[in-house]
Structure formats: structure tokens, C-alpha cells
Amino acid sequence: MNREIELPSINPRKSIVLIALGMGVYFIYLYHVGFHNVLESLANVDPAVFSLGFFLALLGVLGDSLAWRKVAEKFDYSVSIADMFYMYLSCIFLNNLIPSGSFSGESARIYFMEKIVPNSRFDKSSATVAATRIITAVPFFVGTLVGLAYLVFKTDAPAWALAACSGITIVLLFVNAIFFGICFADNWLDRIICTIIDFVEKLFHISVDKNLCRGIVSQFHQSMQMLATHKKTLFISTFWAVAAWLSMTLVASVTFRSMGIKVPLEAVFAVYAVMIFLQMLPLLLPGGVGLVDIVMITLFNAIGVPMHEAIAATILIRVVQLWFLTAVGGLATVHLVRKINKDPSKRGLTEHVAKGF
């Protein structure tokens, strides 16, 4: 059963205004801290070492793509590594520009999977995306626990920093437990869908085919249950997810190394977890610009990095993990849209997206 899904659209004017707002707050913060010392720290960066961060970031995306591809293979989806890589980059691009708790990026993955893979089915495509969300959460959660343990037992981090990391760990565990239940429990998602349908019908005075929706949900659950029996697939996919997470985390370590600063990897785990968590929240600011930067600076400073060097490191890390990946993701999205539009039968479905770029 194939259901039509649209690629999330971007409002360039709104995104630009929100980015300017976030950057404005950020520059005010930097002004009070002092630009001069920050510029001195940036001037001491070793470009050769720092450039490794760009490679590691792309390697991280590739790892996530391979984790997703391994899952997709079990549904008889034949997708090239390059297409998977482009789709994951597009996911990052849309997540950063459309604050929606990662929903926009995951919708884009399903959309491109439906358009690129012959004979794809919505329930199977969404199952591959849901499964990889669970799998990629494993190393992220473990790394968060390791980072939190390091902060508690090996540093003199202030109580607020420990409370923030502990709170995020608990929230992550709770959210992933709910998501796991929705994906595998027989009636959770069915009840949620039925409740939403009843609300929509009453609010807009329309009729929705509830049996059709429940049929899709049933097929989705069957796909998830089938995948759960393939332990080898899950193991290999988890391996790639761990490699991707480690590559992304090492971006910060390489950045500090390029500045001649030694920061324990465990401490980076904790700060990285907070950064990703904030970026995943449906905040008004695209990519959490401004807010995430200030929180990262504060946490790096809390674990012993001098303030001006913490600011310089945060700027460099965000250049790689936010601005660079967003830019490359935008190019990947344009490439995928053009690839789909080469098929005359699908051209009309994506023309409105191409105009947005």
C-alpha cells in the first residue's frame, strides 16, 4: 500500500529572520565576553588538523547512511550508497532549517526513499527510518552515560551542569522508551492514530478513512516485527551507527587538538550529547543557532576549558557540524530533487520544492 508523502517545504524568508535573530543574540553574548581574545585563540588554530573535522563529519553521515542501508536491504530495497548518503545529508539540511524535532528530516528520508526506490511501500520505508532512529540512539545514549559518569566522578563540574546532563539522560531514556513502544507495541500507534483522526474529523468537519490508516499502521508493525528477527542486520547496522556517532564526536576532539588543548574524550561525550539534544528539540531557531552555541561554551568552560578558548572551539565545531553539513545537505537535496524530476511521471510532484532552492 503506497501513500503519497510530500517533501517538507522551506520558507527562506522565515529561516533567514530566525537565523539572524539567533546570531544577533549570540554576537551580543560574544561582545560581552570579548572578541579580541577569541580572535587570538582562533588565530592559533592549526588548519591542517582542523580540516580533519570536515572529513570526520562526512564520515559520520556516511556511517549513519550505511546503518540505514543495511536495514533497508532486509526489505529488499536496492539503494546505492551514494543515494543513501545524499538522503541523509538532505535529512540534516531540513532538520537544521525547519525546527520540528527532526520530523522534517525523517519525512524527507521517507519521501526520497519512496521516489527513488522502485516498488517501495510507505509502511516499509517508514519502518526503515524508524528502525534507524532506534539504532542510532543506542551509541548516543551510551555515550551520554559515559560522559555523565566522567563529569560526576572525574571533574569538579558545577551542580547545574551535572543536573542538565542528568536531566537530558533521563529525558532521552523516556523518549526512546516511548518511541520503542510505539514502533513495536501492537496497539500504541493504532490508538494514537485513531485519537488524532477523531480530533481532525471534529475540528475540520471532514471524514477520514480510519480503516485505511489502521491498515497502514498494521503493515508498519509487521515490517518492524520482521526486522526485529534479523539479529545480524541489527548488529551490523548498530556497528555503523556507533562508527558514525564516534566520528561526529571526534570533530570536537580534533578541533581542540588543532588549538593545542587537551580535553578528555569522555567530557566531549557529555557536551556533544547536550548539543545534539538541543538541536533535536522543536525550537524556533534553525539548528538551535545561538542557543546551542552559548550552552556549549558554558559547558566546555564548566569542565575546565578557558572561556575564550571554549568560545573559539565552539565556533569551529559549529562551522563543521552545523554550517558545513547544512550547506552540503542543501546541495544534496537539490541533487535528489533534480534526479527525481528527470522522471516525467514525478516531475510535477517536486517542482514546488525545486523553486524553494
pLDDT digits (tens, 9 = 90+) for 87-110: 999 988 888 877 654 567 788 888
Task: Tell me how far CA of residue 343 lies from CA of 79, 127, 303, 336, in angstroms.
Answer: 17, 26, 53, 12
pLDDT digits (tens, 9 = 90+) for 174-200: 776 776 666 666 676 667 667 777 776
C-alpha cell, 137: 540512539
> What's the CA gap between 285 and 104, in Å, rounded?
14
pLDDT at 227: 65
pLDDT digits (tens, 9 = 90+) for 14-50: 667 767 776 777 677 676 766 777 777 788 889 999 9
Contact 319, 299 (CB under 8 A): no
pLDDT at 86: 93
- For the cut 70, the answer to whether the pLDDT of residue 283 exceeds it is no
pLDDT at 225: 66
Separation of first and last alpha carbons in the chain: 31
Mean pLDDT of 289-296: 78
- pTM for the full model? 0.78
Query: For residue 178, which of 229, 137, 213, 233 has the smallest C-alpha distance?
Result: 137
| CB burial readout 185-205, b (16+ within 10 A) else e | eeebbbeebbeebeeeeeeee
User: Which residues are CB-contacts of 273 (< 8 A; sequence separation ≥ 6)?
Assistant: 140, 143, 144, 147, 165, 168, 169, 172
Contact 219, 63 (CB under 8 A): no
pLDDT at 2: 43
- For the cut 70, the answer to whether the pLDDT of residue 218 exceeds it is no
Contact 119, 342 (CB under 8 A): no
CA angle in degrees (0–180, nearest 5) for 97-268-163: 85
Contact 163, 148 (CB under 8 A): no
- Sort residue 209 into left (φ over 0), alpha (ψ -120 to 50) or beta: beta
- For the cut 60, the answer to whether the pLDDT of residue 355 exceeds it is no
Task: Tell me how far CA of residue 206 lies from CA of 191, 216, 297, 318, in angstroms.
Answer: 19, 20, 50, 45
Query: For residue 155, which of 256, 295, 269, 312 has the smallest C-alpha distance?
Result: 269
Contact 19, 322 (CB under 8 A): no
pLDDT at 357: 44
Average pLDDT, the chain: 77
C-alpha cell, 273: 550529547
> What's the CA gap between 143 and 145, in Å, rounded?
5
- For the cut 80, the answer to whether the pLDDT of residue 114 exceeds it is yes
Task: Give the confidence band of 351 by pLDDT, cuts at 50, 70, 90.
Answer: very low
- For the cut 90, the answer to whether the pLDDT of residue 60 exceeds it is yes
